[in-house]
Structure 1
Amino acid sequence: MTSAIRCTLGLLACLLASPATPLHAEVKTVTDVIGRTVKADLPAKRVLLGFYFEDFMAVGGPNAFDSVVGISRDAWAGWVPANWAMHVAARPSLDTIADVGEVEAQTFSVEKVLALKPDLVVLADWQYKALGLDADRIEESGIPILVVDFNAQTLERHLASARVLGEATGQAARAAEIADLYQTAMKDVAARIAKAGKPKPKVYVEFGNKGPAEHSFTYGKNMWGAMATAAGGDNIAAPFVEWWGPINPEKVLAANPDAIFISGRENNKNETAMTMGQKVDAADAERKLAAFANRPGWSQVTAIKNGKLFGVYQGASRTLSDFAMAQFIAKQLYPEQFADVDPLKNYLAYYEKYLPVRPAGTFVVSWKKP
């Protein structure tokens, strides 16, 4: 086993300190993840941050949010409120950062962005595309936009996005370190799967926000779909869903998956929804997960027959820490090849190393078949 792989499996013991030294700004030309050439005064002093808040903080270091003047608050405080509360407890000034609205909810305000006079706007690829002409208005006002993308869940875009954030924050070396960690972990996953020498198990992943009574989103090319593929799974939704969306429940039964993963988060309007994340009790998560096993027809599915039903944290996807979720999925599909890998330990070790908070809750869970 190489030293790089040993580092992946024991992060706390192997990773070195990465000081976040302030740098003087200068005009730089950066190519973002969608191939746009952007000129900006970097590291930026006044940043408008649309998404990927923890990634910006992990790459930029403990003082990264000193330069953030505005955020799409609901994409953090609204979607994963317990995670937001954890960060506010560690850094109360987060609660005073201006809110410019949220793109998906169509509350994003260009006027609020311009009023804050940022010298850089950092947006997710999906936000940039959804804003369309509004993004053009921001750039026409003289404010550069850098686009990053962790939603694609490809190794290439994860690494490129980390490096773009490194340029934005003036922490290129720290970004390179985290990118190397991610790349090493994912290459290790691929190498172990290659040695398994068996057909890829069929996998179904669903966002459990609607509870067991109604099928919610599954994933094709991106997010959990891409992660399931990277983890050595044959994603049964891929022929039916390009990015994300529901599929006919009968197609799930017909595909007969070998393993099923239900993602959940802390903030759920539906009381029966899958609950995962910060401050979530494991017993509650297990109870919510067990209800999915009782869906009509699922008792005849191979995954349920063999007890291969799992819960994963929605907030641990589309981020630089999600290599641990890929490890978890791979470990359930190829237990012998990943016997010495502790995905949860690696997930928490990433926070210990790169972020100022210590998560406590339920981030992965396995169904206990009766």
Structure 2
Amino acid sequence: MSARFVKYSAIRTGIIVFLGLLVAFAGGCAGKSQVPNQPPVSSGQFTDSTGYVLTLPQKPQKIVSLLSSTDEILMGLVAPERIAALTYLADDSGISNISGQAKAVSRKIRANAESVIALQPDLVIISDWQPPELIQTLRETGMPVYVYKMPTSIAEIKQAIMAIAQVVGEDEAGSRLVAEMDQQLAQIAGQVKQVPDDKRQVIIRYTVMGGSDGKGSTFDDICRHAGVVNGAAAAGLEMNDSLTKEQLVAVNPDIILLPLWDYAGKTDLQKLAVELQEDPALQGVKAIRRHKLISVPDSHLVCTSQYIVQGVWDVARVAYPDYVKDE
């Protein structure tokens, strides 16, 4: 249901309450840093990334998450008892940063309507890249569905955390998570700035599909915060492009990051590393010559939650071990 279908009386009441809350909020937050561009809130009403106005009469107590990153965000915001289900990937330590904590939530599901409807949740959190048909089907049942914008940068991840925190009624917890991210990013920046310009490293992230994560990807932003050059972006690749072998040679990276996790589970990752290291066409590449093929947790590099900061730590430590120490 869009905002234009809300009854006039509800709109009038909502506006009055909203103005009162806005005055109180402005007075209480004067002088404090804020995450910009948050959805407006009005007496239990939340506008999601699609423009849909969601009304929640109280803090949701049966929340369903349909993305691994919202699994991680929710576990940082609410008690496990308020989560009706996480995704099936929450238990996979190869890609989940909360596999241990996730044991406190008994139900793990896939993103399909039948699994969600069976739980009768009072809030479903789903990303804007998931099938519109699924979103529509869930909304047609009458259950509250909040669609958030899939982040492509660390700044957008902070915004997503604060938006979700507002919807679940845990603004303070959201602010705490963002503040912790900012503190660690500042610590990394302080160490990385000591690295001389002539020692800046060029890095390629190599997946089972080849080199990837060009301009506009979260990995590109990880590289920026870690003070390294993203080789894929330097080669002119966009977020979903693949790096060819010829481009890899031209980029001539100092370090190649290798995967530790394969979604399909069909790739021999050790064999992949050996084949890359021994490829005759790549023997002139600095990372190959110097045996700088290094694996870091995929869960840190591909997440769009607060744990992305761990990815920044990983890349910075790999690139500048003499300058960057443990957090």
TM-score, scaled to structure 1: 0.64
In 2: Cα distance, 1:180 partner to 1:140 partner? 37
Structure 2 residue 62 is matched with structure 1 residue 66: no
Equivalent position to 2:125, from 122, 128, 138: 122
Q: 1:93-108 maps to which residues of 2 (within 5 A)?
A: 94=106, 97=107, 99=109, 101-102=110-111, 108=112
Corresponding position of 2:5: none
Structure 2 residue 323 is matched with structure 1 residue 327: no
In 2: Cα distance, 1:291 partner to 1:267 partner? 20
Corresponding position of 1:139: 139
Deviation at 1:331, TM superposition (A): 2.4
Percent identity, aligned pairs only?
Answer: 17
* 3-state SS of 1:310 partner: strand
Corresponding position of 1:352: none
Structure 2 residue 60 is matched with structure 1 residue 44: yes
Deviation at 1:37, TM superposition (A): 5.3
* 3-state SS of 1:264 partner: coil
* 3-state SS of 2:56 partner: strand
| Aligned residue type for 2:212 | T
Corresponding position of 1:230: 225
Deviation at 1:134, TM superposition (A): 2.9
List per-residue Cα deviations over 1:175-213 (Å, max 9, x = no partner): 211210111222333344344340543211022xx3xxx
In 1: Cα distance, 2:323 partner to 2:274 partner? 27
Structure 2: runs of 5 or more not aligned: 1-41
In 1: Cα distance, 2:218 partner to 2:286 partner? 24
Judged with a 3 Å threshold, the aligned counterparts in structure 2 of structure 1 residues 294 and 150 are, in CA distance, closer, same or farther, namely: farther
Judged with a 3 Å threshold, the aligned counterparts in structure 2 of structure 1 residues 41 and 232 are, in CA distance, closer, same or farther, namely: farther
| Aligned residue type for 2:181 | Y
Corresponding position of 1:251: 247
User: Retained in 1: the 8 A contact 2:287–2:293?
Assistant: yes
Equivalent position to 1:218, from 212, 219, 234: 212
Corresponding position of 1:242: 238
User: Retained in 1: the 8 A contact 2:95–2:261?
Assistant: no
User: Retained in 1: the 8 A contact 2:72–2:98?
Assistant: no
Corresponding position of 1:198: 197
Corresponding position of 1:306: 290
In 2: Cα distance, 1:34 partner to 1:189 partner? 35
In 2: Cα distance, 1:258 partner to 1:46 partner? 48
User: Retained in 1: the 8 A contact 2:97–2:307?
Assistant: no
TM-score, scaled to structure 2: 0.71
| Aligned residue type for 1:296 | P
In 2: Cα distance, 1:290 partner to 1:151 partner? 34
Judged with a 3 Å threshold, the aligned counterparts in structure 2 of structure 1 residues 313 and 149 are, in CA distance, closer, same or farther, namely: farther
| Aligned residue type for 1:257 | P
* 3-state SS of 1:69 partner: strand
In 1: Cα distance, 2:94 partner to 2:197 partner? 38
| Aligned residue type for 1:229 | R
List per-residue Cα deviations over 1:276-310 (Å, max 9, x = no partner): xxxxxxxxxxx875554223333321123334321
In 2: Cα distance, 1:256 partner to 1:33 partner? 40
User: Retained in 1: the 8 A contact 2:72–2:97?
Assistant: no
* 3-state SS of 2:210 partner: coil
* 3-state SS of 2:45 partner: strand
Q: 1:75-94 maps to which residues of 2 (within 5 A)?
A: 75-77=89-91, 80=94, 86-87=100-101, 90-91=103-104, 94=106
Deviation at 1:265, TM superposition (A): 2.0
User: Retained in 2: the 8 A contact 1:78–1:267?
Assistant: no
In 1: Cα distance, 2:268 partner to 2:205 partner? 17
Corresponding position of 2:278: 294
In 2: Cα distance, 1:83 partner to 1:197 partner? 33
Structure 2 residue 73 is matched with structure 1 residue 55: yes
Deviation at 1:245, TM superposition (A): 4.3
Judged with a 3 Å threshold, the aligned counterparts in structure 2 of structure 1 residues 165 and 203 are, in CA distance, closer, same or farther, namely: same
Deviation at 1:85, TM superposition (A): 6.6
Deviation at 1:132, TM superposition (A): 1.5
Backbone CA RMSD of aligned residues:
3.3
Who wins on radius of gyration, i.e. which is larger? 2
Deviation at 1:163, TM superposition (A): 1.8
Corresponding position of 1:183: 182
List per-residue Cα deviations over 1:102-130 (Å, max 9, x = no partner): 3xxxxx2x244334322211113432xxx
Q: Which has the higher contact order (CA 8 A, sep 6+)?
A: 1
Corresponding position of 1:17: none
Judged with a 3 Å threshold, the aligned counterparts in structure 2 of structure 1 residues 98 and 335 are, in CA distance, closer, same or farther, namely: closer
* 3-state SS of 2:269 partner: coil
Structure 2 residue 288 is matched with structure 1 residue 262: no
Judged with a 3 Å threshold, the aligned counterparts in structure 2 of structure 1 residues 85 and 196 are, in CA distance, closer, same or farther, namely: closer
User: Retained in 2: the 8 A contact 1:261–1:309?
Assistant: yes
User: Retained in 1: the 8 A contact 2:92–2:99?
Assistant: no
Corresponding position of 2:158: 159
